[in-house]
């Protein structure tokens, strides 16, 4: 999953909202989406949409989450 997100981040789809964040889709499937928002104040936030649940992460939390996912992929 980590590689998929990193590959998708190399060719992002960006969307600028008026006076708002610049959003970039990192990866998506039929039911899930990972995206980031570059906020006007310089902060980058990451978001996972999992059906009707959205998880929000600051950069440090996102890095830790990706480490968790990577370690899970090694257990299979």
Q: Are 2 and 73 in contact (CB under 8 A)?
A: yes
In the chain, where the domains are located: 2-75
pLDDT for 18-27, tens place per residue? 778 999 999 9
Model pLDDT, residue 5: 56
pLDDT for 21-76, tens place per residue? 999 999 999 999 999 999 999 999 999 999 999 999 999 999 999 999 999 988 86
Helix (H, G, I), strand (E, B) or coil at 26: strand
């Amino acid at each position: 999953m980590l590689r998929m997100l990193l590959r998708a981040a190399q060719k992002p789809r960006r969307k600028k909202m008026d006076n708002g964040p610049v959003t970039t889709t990192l990866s998506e499937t039929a039911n899930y989406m990972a995206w980031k928002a570059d906020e006007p104040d310089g902060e980058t936030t990451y978001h996972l949409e999992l059906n009707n649940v959205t998880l929000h992460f600051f950069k440090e939390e996102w890095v830790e989450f990706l480490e968790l996912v990577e370690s899970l992929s090694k257990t299979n």
